[in-house]
Amino acid sequence: TMIETPRAALRADELAESAEFFSFGTNDLTQMTFGFSRDDVEGKLMATYIDQGLLPANPFKTIDPTGVGELVRIAVERGRKTRPNLKVGICGEHGGDPASIDLFVKAGLDYVSCSSFRVPIARLAVAQSLIRDGELAVAD
């Protein structure tokens, strides 16, 4: 089941009753959460938001931890409360961003999906996040 709207994230417990997996469409979820289209703001408007300190980074490149990231955490928690073995992941360009991947690992996601040229970055970012969190041992 795709989770692409804030409402779907908030109703994840109900969706998990009939879902075997959740896949977050983070680009759409970001657009719906902020209420603006990526195409409409990617140019000058996004730069102004960042320059004025309204946003710390472009939320279409690095997941917004206090908005979209919180919705992801809520959905994972609620979905797994209903279905503990629920598989959860994301699809979209955020799957190749190290800062976003760190948030997804901490939220308990099972996988990230990204464009093929970002796969090496994604694999390294997942490993680094697991090592930082002590979930992956490094041999001496």
**pLDDT at residue 124, as a whole number:** 86
Q: Which residues pair with 111 in a beta bridge?
A: 89
**pLDDT at residue 123, as a whole number:** 86
Domain limits of the chain?
2-132
**pLDDT at residue 127, as a whole number:** 84
In sequence order, what DSSP letters do the residues of 34-46 get, joined into one string?
HTS-HHHHTTHHH
**pLDDT at residue 138, as a whole number:** 55
**pLDDT at residue 139, as a whole number:** 53
**pLDDT at residue 74, as a whole number:** 98
Q: Give the whole-angstrom CA distance, residue 40 versus residue 20.
A: 34
Helix, strand, coil share (%) of the chain residues, nearest 5:
55, 10, 35
Question: For residue 38, how many other CB atoms are within 10 A of its CB?
Answer: 16
What averages of pLDDT result for each successive group of 10 residues across the chain (140 residues)?
98 97 96 91 87 94 96 98 97 90 93 86 84 65
**pLDDT at residue 42, as a whole number:** 83
**pLDDT at residue 135, as a whole number:** 67
- For domain 2-132, give its CATH number from 3.30.540.10, 3.20.20.370, 3.20.20.60, 3.40.1500.10: 3.20.20.60
**pLDDT at residue 130, as a whole number:** 82
